[in-house]
């Protein structure tokens, strides 16, 4: 087993301040940045040290006492970059073959500056981790690239994000939430606060990587792609249906899938209790995990609406049949994306690609929390088709490779924010000697 330190990494953030531009750190001792300490009253000993938890920490170098200065709240643009964008930026940087390398370098540089200036954040996700692990030769570089751009802010797993949204739907179903729409709070979707002021140091851990198994990921991806092909060939092509009928079928299919997983988990547990099944920790945990959605939803409904003798299971079936379930954002997006793909398969349009299932998940779970997304070319086009028009429904800009120029323009526009100069000045006023 690797030692703990071997999988942890401390990374410096330069924030665009080059040592030559800044001059020697010792020169600044005589500057005006040092003020009189409010505690010990010595002159030229008190100054800004670092930014911690959304505030500036001031410190006296004589008496070591500190004071905190609150900073105004930030509102960054949350931009999701598909794996191919990260991969192309890295390839251009390290000199691997990639078309339009110059453009990718330009994009990478622009993004790094906007992230350093706290105007943009590009959260990473389980899909970045999984897909990076599939390319062994580039994996360390890919990991470093997406982490530098996420500053440790990661999307929660799709299952967790889905549960937050289903919880809102359940509350509407039992009449506790009278709001018509859904809220998309950062804490529902992210580990870490995307709008937080950066400290100068950030620490990331590679612990979760230990559980990544590229072979397993590859097999799971292949199975998903095969399943999608099968659905396209057997269902979509042979069975004519309207867009709305396909949407309804997808939603019902999702509910059936949850119940099926729960039934499988119950069957396994029963068999184990009766001694017909050997105990296997992996399968046991897998069963608990896959049955958990139905479990917590039935328990919630039993608590709110009363135990109907089936511990809320009948209420759950009524919930699945209700408009509240169908209105759950991730499910709406997912069902409509698949319905749009079915429309393409029936017409002269495109066939499903192996990566489509992942793109559907990325869109369904992450899109409402993003200001902008960069996705696969054809997939980005699908999100804009009627009646999906996801960019309008969720006010999220969606770019594909064909909109590369549009994405650059969007970023350049963000860079014109007047807040940028203030942020830079603040970071340059920090005591760099304490870090370097």
How far is C-alpha 315 from the geometric centre of its chain's CA atoms? 32
Q: Which stretch binds Zn ion (CB under 5 A): 37-45, 237-245, 314-322, 325-333?
A: 37-45
d(CA 232, CA 251): 17
Please, which residue, 61 or 391, has the CB nearer to Zn ion?
A: 61
Please, which residue, 66 or 183, has the CB nearer to Zn ion?
A: 66
Alpha-carbon Rg of the chain, whole angstroms? 25
How far is C-alpha 82 from the geometric centre of its chain's CA atoms? 11
Closest distance between Zn ion and the C-beta of residue 59, in Å?
9
Helix (H) or strand (E) holding 271: helix 243-273
User: Token digits for 430?
Assistant: 């920090």
Q: Does 39 bind Zn ion (CB under 5 A)?
A: yes
Closest distance between Zn ion and the C-beta of residue 39, in Å?
4
Q: Which stretch binds Zn ion (CB under 5 A): 38-46, 68-76, 157-165, 305-313?
A: 38-46
Please, which residue, 44 or 283, has the CB nearer to Zn ion?
A: 44
Q: Does 191 bind Zn ion (CB under 5 A)?
A: no
Closest distance between Zn ion and the C-beta of residue 42, in Å?
6
Q: Does 421 bind Zn ion (CB under 5 A)?
A: no
Please, which residue, 39 or 243, has the CB nearer to Zn ion?
A: 39
User: Token digits for 221?
Assistant: 């991806």
C-alpha closest to that of 120 among 55, 169, 75, 86: 75
C-alpha closest to that of 109 among 149, 76, 77, 81: 149
User: Token digits for 398?
Assistant: 């969606």
The DSSP bridge partners found for residue 11 are 202
Closest distance between Zn ion and the C-beta of residue 63, in Å?
3
Query: Which positions from 53 to 92 touch Zn ion by CB under 5 A, shown as an x/- string?
Result: -------x-xx-----------------------------
Q: Does 35 bind Zn ion (CB under 5 A)?
A: no
Residue 329, C-beta contacts closer than 8 angstroms, at least 6 positions apart: 165, 182, 184, 368, 394
Closest distance between Zn ion and the C-beta of residue 57, in Å?
14
d(CA 74, CA 209): 31
Q: Does 40 bind Zn ion (CB under 5 A)?
A: yes
Q: Does 37 bind Zn ion (CB under 5 A)?
A: yes
DSSP string, 46-83: EEEEEEETTEEEEEETTT--EEEEE-PPP-PEEEEE-H
Give the position of tokens 């890919």. Answer: 142
Give the binding-site size for Zn ion (rule: CB under 5 A).
Answer: 6
User: Token digits for 390?
Assistant: 């996801």
Q: Does 52 bind Zn ion (CB under 5 A)?
A: no
Q: Kindly report the CA angle at 176 between 174 and 181, in degrees rounded to 5?
A: 100
**8 phi and psi angles, rounded to 5 deg:** -105, 150
Please, which residue, 50 or 196, has the CB nearer to Zn ion?
A: 50
Closest distance between Zn ion and the C-beta of residue 46, in Å?
6
Closest distance between Zn ion and the C-beta of residue 299, in Å?
56
Give the position of tokens 């960069």. Answer: 374
d(CA 123, CA 146): 8
Q: Is 94 exposed, middle or buried (0-12, 13-18, 19+ CB in 10 A)?
A: exposed
Say if CB 144 and CB 94 are below 8 A apart. no
Please, which residue, 37 or 81, has the CB nearer to Zn ion?
A: 37
C-alpha closest to that of 426 among 63, 45, 23, 72: 72
Closest distance between Zn ion and the C-beta of residue 16, in Å?
31
Query: Which positions from 92 to 111 touch Zn ion by CB under 5 A, shown as an x/- string?
Result: --------------------
Closest distance between Zn ion and the C-beta of residue 34, in Å?
11
Residues numbered 311-330 forming contacts with Zn ion, rule: CB under 5 A: none
Please, which residue, 33 or 299, has the CB nearer to Zn ion?
A: 33
d(CA 204, CA 288): 29
Please, which residue, 63 or 241, has the CB nearer to Zn ion?
A: 63
Please, which residue, 39 or 296, has the CB nearer to Zn ion?
A: 39
Q: Which stretch binds Zn ion (CB under 5 A): 35-43, 167-175, 236-244, 392-400?
A: 35-43
Closest distance between Zn ion and the C-beta of residue 429, in Å?
18
Please, which residue, 62 or 249, has the CB nearer to Zn ion?
A: 62
Closest distance between Zn ion and the C-beta of residue 365, in Å?
50
User: Token digits for 404?
Assistant: 């590369």
Please, which residue, 62 or 135, has the CB nearer to Zn ion?
A: 62
What are the residues binding Zn ion (CB under 5 A)?
A: 37, 39-40, 60, 62-63
């Amino acid at each position: 087993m690797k030692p703990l330190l071997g999988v942890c990494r401390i990374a410096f953030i330069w924030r665009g301040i080059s040592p030559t531009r800044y001059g020697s750190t010792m020169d600044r001792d005589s500057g005006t940045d040092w003020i009189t300490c409010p505690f010990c009253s010595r002159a030229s000993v008190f100054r800004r040290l670092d930014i911690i938890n959304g505030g500036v920490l001031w410190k006296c170098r004589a008496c070591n006492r500190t004071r905190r200065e609150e900073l105004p709240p930030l509102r960054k643009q949350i931009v999701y970059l598909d794996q191919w964008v990260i991969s192309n930026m890295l390839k251009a940087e390290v000199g691997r073959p990639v078309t339009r390398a110059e453009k990718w370098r330009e994009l990478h540089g622009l993004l790094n500056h906007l992230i350093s200036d706290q105007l943009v954040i590009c959260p990473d996700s389980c899909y970045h981790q999984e897909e990076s692990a599939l390319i062994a030769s580039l994996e360390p570089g890919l990991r470093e690239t997406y982490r530098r751009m996420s500053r440790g802010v990661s999307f929660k797993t799709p299952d967790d994000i889905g549960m937050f949204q289903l919880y809102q739907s359940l509350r509407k179903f039992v009449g506790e939430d009278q709001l018509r729409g859904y809220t998309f709070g950062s804490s529902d979707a992210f580990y870490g606060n995307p709008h937080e002021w950066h400290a100068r140091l950030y620490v990331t851990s590679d612990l979760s990587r230990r559980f990544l198994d590229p072979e397993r990921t590859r097999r799971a991806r292949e199975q998903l792609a095969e399943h999608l092909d099968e659905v396209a060939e057997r269902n979509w092509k042979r069975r004519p249906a309207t867009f709305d009928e396909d949407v309804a079928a997808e939603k019902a299919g999702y509910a059936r899938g949850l119940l099926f997983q729960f039934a499988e988990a119950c069957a396994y547990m029963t068999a184990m209790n009766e001694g017909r099944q050997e105990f296997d920790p992996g399968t046991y945990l897998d069963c608990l995990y896959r049955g958990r959605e139905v479990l917590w939803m039935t328990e919630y409904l039993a608590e709110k609406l009363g135990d109907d003798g089936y511990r809320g299971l009948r209420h759950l079936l009524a919930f699945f049949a209700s408009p509240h379930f169908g209105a759950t954002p991730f499910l709406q997006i997912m069902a409509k994306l698949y319905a749009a793909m079915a429309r393409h398969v029936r017409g002269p349009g495109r066939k499903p690609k192996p990566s489509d299932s992942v793109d559907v998940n990325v869109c369904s779970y992450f899109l409402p929390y993003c200001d902008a997304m960069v996705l696969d070319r054809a997939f980005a086009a699908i999100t804009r088709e009627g009646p999906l028009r996801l960019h309008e429904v969720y006010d999220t800009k969606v770019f594909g490779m064909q909109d590369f120029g549009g994405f650059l323009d969007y970023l350049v526009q963000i860079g014109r924010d007047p807040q940028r100069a203030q942020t830079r000045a603040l970071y340059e006023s920090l005591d760099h000697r304490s870090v370097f």
